[in-house]
Amino acid sequence: MLYWLLYEKLYPVFRVFRIFRYLTFRCVFASLTALLIGMLIGPFVIRRLREFQIGQYIRDEGPQSHKTKSGTPTMGGVLICIAILIPTLLWSDLRNPFVWLVMASTAAFAGIGFADDYIKVVHKRNLGLTGRQKLALQFLISGAVAAVLTVMQGKGFYSTRLVVPFLKHFRPDLIWQWMGAIPHLHWLSYLPFIVFVMIVITGASNAVNLTDGLDGLAIGCTIIAAGALTVLTYVSGHVVFSDYLEIPRMPMVGELTIFCGAMVGAAISFLWYNAHPAEIFMGDVGSLMLGGAIATVAVVIKQELLLPFIGGVFILEALSVMLQVGSYKLRGGKRIFRMAPLHHHFELSGWSESKVITRFWILALVFALFALTTLKLR
C-alpha cells in the first residue's frame, strides 16, 4: 500500500520518492517495519496470553529439565504472522500474484497451527490436532499452492521445470507431457508436480515444527534460512545476477524479496522475547507457518532442491525423528539417539541448552552459506 502511494502516486510529483521503486530499499524498510511491529506489540501479546492462561504444556516423555517451562505463554506465532504480513502489505507491489500466493500460504499454515495450539489450551494437554488431521490439512494447503502454480504455468508466469544444484543445464519437467494429449485426462499430467510440491511444503512445515523444542532454536535458524532466501529471491528476479549465475530469471518473483525481508525482521523481533530463558513460545502456529512460508517461497523461486541446505538444521531434526522411529519399530525397540529430535539427544548427552542452541545456529549458518555457494557451482 505504501509502495502504491509513495511511488506510483506521489513519485510523479515528488521525485525523491523514486527510491521506493528499488527492491533493496523496500526490503530493508519491510524488515525494519517487521522488527518494529514485533518489538512494540510483543509485550502486549505476552501479557494478553498470560491473562488468558494460554501456556505451554510440556510432554511427560520430554527432558525433565523442561518441566520448569510449563506455563510459559505459547501461540507467539501470532506475533510473527502479524509482523510478516503487515510489512509485506505495506511495502510490496500487491499486483504481483506471487506475493498473494505466499501470504495466503503463510496465513493458512498459521491457521492450522492456531487450531492445534487452541485445542491444546482448551483441553490443557500437549495434544492438539491428531497427526492425520494435521497432515491432511497441510497436504490440502500445499496442493492448493501447487494448483495455483499450475495455473500460472499455463499463463507463462511460472515453470514446472526443476532447477538442479550443480547441474544447471539439467532441468527435468515435472509434467507428464504425453498425458496432456489424452482426452479428459490431461489434468493428470500435472500430478507429479502437485505431489512433489505437497511433499516439499508439508515436509518443511513439519521439520520446523520438530525443531521448535528449545528457547530460540527454531527462530534463530529461521532468521538464517530467511536471510538466505532473501538473497535467492533477489538474484532470481535480477537480470544481471541471474544471467551471471546461470539460473532461470523470473522477474515477478523478485517482489518476494520484500516478504523474505519481513520474515527476517519478524523473526529477529520474536527472538528478542524467545531467547533463553524464553518469555514466550511460538507454538505450532509459528513453527508450522514459518516452515510453510519458507518452503512456499523456495518452490516459487525454483530452489526447492536447495531446501536441505537452506534449512539444513530443520532437515537434520526431521531425519533424526524418522530414523529414531524406524529403528524403534524395525529393531525391536532399539534406539539410535538418546531422544529425538536431535537437539534432545545432545541435551541428554550433557550439553547445556544454550550450547545446543548456539551450535545449531552455527550449523544452520554453514548450511545456508553452502546453499548460496552452489549458485555458481556446476
Q: In sequence order, what DSSP letters do the residues of 166-228 get, joined into one string?
A: T-TT---BSS-GGGGGSTTTGGGGGHHHHHHHHHHHHHHHHHHHHHTTSTTHHHHHHHHHHHH
User: What Å distances lie between residue 103 and 25, 154, 221, 290, 363, CA to CA?
Assistant: 20, 22, 21, 11, 28
> Is residue 18 a contact partner of residue 252, using CB atoms and an 8 Å limit?
no
User: Phi and psi (nearest 5°) for 132?
Assistant: -70, -40
| Residue 272, CA distances (Å) to 38, 39, 43, 159, 264 in order | 9, 8, 11, 39, 13
Q: Which three cell numbers stand for residue 50?
A: 498470560
Angle at 24 between CA 18 and CA 26, to 5 degrees: 65
pLDDT in tens, 29-83: 999 999 999 999 999 999 988 877 665 555 555 555 555 566 688 889 999 999 9
Average confidence (pLDDT) over 144-162? 92
Distance CA 199, CA 163 (A): 17
Q: Could you read off the pLDDT of 94-124 as tens digits, one per residue?
A: 999 999 999 999 999 999 999 988 887 776 6
The pLDDT of 124-129, averaged and rounded, is 69
Q: How far apart are CA 276 and CA 230, in angstroms?
A: 27
- Check pLDDT > 70 for residue 4: no
Count CB neighbours of 44 within 10 A. 10
Task: State yes or no: pLDDT of 196 exceeds 90.
Answer: yes
**What phi-psi label fits residue 92: left (phi over 0), alpha (psi between -120 and 50 degrees) or beta?**
beta
Pick from 236, 231, 347, 211: which is nearest to 287 by CA? 211
Q: CA 67 → CA 57, 61, 334, distances in Å? A: 9, 10, 26
- Grid cell listed for 169: 543445464
User: Which among 54, 46, 43, 94 is positioned nearest to 258, based on CA atoms?
Assistant: 94
**Residue 106: C-alpha distances to residues 77, 198, 335 (Å):** 11, 15, 35
- Reported as a pLDDT band with limits 50, 70 and 90, residue 346 is very high
For residue 215, give the C-alpha cell.
528457547
pTM (global) more than 0.85: yes
pLDDT of residue 226: 97
How many whole angstroms separate alpha carbon 247 and alpha carbon 138? 30
Whole-angstrom CA distances from 227 to 28, 129, 154, 165, 221 are 12, 31, 31, 19, 10
Helix 97-123 × helix 256-274 angle, to 10°: 30
Q: Is 254 helix (H, G, I), strand (E, B) or coil?
A: helix
Supply the pLDDT for residue 58: 54
Cα distances (angstroms) measured from residue 236 to each of 146, 297, 315: 20, 12, 24
Q: How confident is the model at residue 185 (pLDDT cuts 50, 70, 90)?
A: low
- Decide if pLDDT at 358 tops 90: yes
Lowest mean pLDDT among 34-38, 111-115, 236-240, 362-366: 236-240
Q: Are 78 and 16 in contact (CB under 8 A)?
A: no
| Averaged pLDDT, 212-233 | 95
Amino acid at 80: I
